[in-house]
């Protein structure tokens, strides 16, 4: 590991402090080094707050003169909610800037680097670039496509079932896997389910502490895809801290004025109508709304028809599937609703990783559509 890589590794670790709370902004970490000593460090913690470089330079103070700053993302060159970091870097007297990945925000893309170079600073780009791109996969995806990065998560038996025929599903996987799912929820600004899951399980869709309380913890936005607006006014999730967004169709919204008003009266609930697509919510439209609202990623937790529809529309990018070493002789399948004919239709995963979690196994991978 070179010294540049060592300090960039620190900057990436610092960036992770902002996990799940910077959306729509990226995760960014900065480390200021003078004569081989770290004199400042900072992370971007929330949109609207100071950028990572600003925190790190403030900490470094006078020591920033003649220093090298390591930043996981190209310093911004635009006036957003905060002034440009390129100016802060120049003002502080930094001599060298090491950047891991270029910003994809068109207001800055390559312009931050160019500005620093033109000002005479020594700029190195691409140190630990792969890791930095991975760190902000969801932010880059949202900026590039106008859609959120979608991670499909499920838990099933080795026979491919998520519940018994009766719908009984507690629990498919062991305690350790369930705890990991809580941690996974914490990594995403939004969690989504279909209405059938909302009706069958009445889930809370929250991040909870060991005692089961969701209070005092930043909650992901809860998203329910509910074409016919069937979500009961008494649904548990509506009592939990945090916001719920219900996507429905324009037709259902027009036919159910009273239900709309009742749901909206439950607190932090937003009802958003999309065009109808085969009688259902237009998923792409709904997800572009999610991106526009500033949520970089969505954890899609099922059920089987919603998930299959999202895959069919090529809206899912990553999977995290927990498999228990059990067999159900019959039960609810993990994916359903879209007939297939040929193995050619199989959706392959790449960059697959398999890890044992308690007695269960976790498969993660990126989606490769045929
Ligand atoms: C940096 N350092 O720590 C972050 C950057 O609205 P603003 O002012 O927060 O600007 C948001 C944009 O700034 C965001 O889209 C991305 O391009 C960049 N984020 N840049 O130099 C940081 N968070
Ligand atoms: Zn900035």
| Residue 315's pLDDT band (cuts 50, 70, 90) | very high
**pLDDT over 90 (residue 358):** yes
Stretch 343-347: mean pLDDT: 95
**pLDDT over 90 (residue 256):** no
Q: What is the pLDDT of residues 79-129, one digit of tens each?
A: 999 999 999 999 999 999 999 999 999 999 999 999 999 999 999 999 999
- Give the pLDDT confidence score for residue 302 in this predicted structure: 81
pLDDT over 70 percentage in the chain = 100
Give the closest residue (by CA) to ligand 1 atom 4: 51
**pLDDT over 90 (residue 158):** yes
- Give the pLDDT confidence score for residue 150 in this predicted structure: 98
- Give the pLDDT confidence score for residue 370 in this predicted structure: 86
**pLDDT over 90 (residue 290):** yes
**pLDDT over 90 (residue 210):** no
314 neighbors 331 (Cβ within 8 angstroms): no
Per mean pLDDT, which range of 47-56, 134-143, 209-218, 333-342 is the poorest?
209-218
**pLDDT over 90 (residue 361):** yes
**pLDDT over 90 (residue 343):** yes
**pLDDT over 90 (residue 177):** yes
Stretch 165-178: mean pLDDT: 95
- Give the pLDDT confidence score for residue 179 in this predicted structure: 92
pLDDT over 90 percentage in the chain = 94
Stretch 286-297: mean pLDDT: 98
Hey, CA dihedral for 125, 189, 319, 324, is it positive or negative?
Answer: positive
**Angle, vertex CA 106, rays to CA 100 and CA 112, nearest 5:** 50
| Ligand with minimal distance to 75 CA | 1
Residue 52: how many CB atoms within 10 A of its CB?
31
Ligand 1: lining residues by beta carbon, under 6 Å: 25-26, 28, 44, 47, 51-53, 73, 75-76, 80-82, 85, 103, 105, 108
CA 131 / ligand 2 centre spacing (Å): 20
CA 124 / ligand 2 centre spacing (Å): 17
- Give the pLDDT confidence score for residue 209 in this predicted structure: 87
Q: pTM of the predicted model, to two decimals?
A: 0.94
Mean pLDDT of the chain: 96
């Amino acid at each position: 590991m070179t010294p540049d890589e060592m300090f960039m590794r620190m900057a990436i670790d610092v960036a992770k402090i902002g996990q799940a709370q910077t959306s729509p902004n990226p995760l960014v970490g900065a480390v200021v080094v003078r004569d081989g000593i770290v004199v400042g460090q900072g992370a971007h913690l929330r949109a609207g707050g100071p950028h990572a470089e600003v925190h790190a330079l403030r900490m470094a103070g006078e020591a920033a003169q003649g220093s090298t700053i390591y930043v996981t993302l190209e310093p911004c060159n635009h006036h957003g909610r905060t002034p440009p970091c390129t100016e802060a870097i120049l003002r502080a007297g930094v001599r060298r800037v090491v950047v891991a990945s270029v910003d994809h925000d068109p207001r800055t893309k390559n312009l931050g680097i160019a500005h620093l170079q033109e000002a005479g600073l020594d700029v190195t780009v691409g140190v630990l670039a792969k890791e930095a791109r991975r760190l902000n996969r969801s932010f880059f995806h949202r900026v590039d496509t106008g859609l959120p990065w979608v991670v499909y998560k499920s838990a099933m038996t080795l026979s491919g079932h998520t519940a018994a025929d009766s719908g009984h599903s507690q629990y498919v996987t062991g305690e350790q896997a369930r705890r990991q799912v809580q941690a996974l929820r914490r990594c995403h600004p939004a969690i989504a389910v279909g209405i059938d899951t909302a009706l069958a399980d009445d889930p809370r869709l929250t991040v909870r502490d060991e005692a089961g309380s969701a209070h005092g913890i930043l909650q992901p936005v809860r998203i329910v895809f509910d074409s016919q607006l069937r979500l009961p006014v008494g649904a548990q999730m509506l009592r939990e801290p945090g916001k719920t967004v219900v996507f429905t169709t324009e037709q259902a919204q027009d036919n159910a004025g009273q239900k709309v008003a009742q749901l909206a009266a439950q607190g932090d609930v937003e009802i958003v109508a999309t065009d109808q697509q085969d009688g259902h919510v237009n998923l792409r439209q709904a997800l572009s709304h999610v991106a526009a609202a500033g949520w970089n990623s969505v954890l899609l937790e099922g059920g089987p028809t919603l998930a299959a529809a999202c895959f069919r529309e090529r809206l899912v990018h990553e999977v995290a599937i927990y498999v228990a070493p059990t067999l159900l002789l019959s039960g609810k399948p993990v994916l359903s609703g879209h007939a297939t004919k040929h193995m050619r239709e199989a959706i392959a995963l790449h960059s697959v990783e398999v890890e044992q979690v308690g007695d269960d196994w976790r498969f993660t991978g990126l989606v490769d559509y045929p």
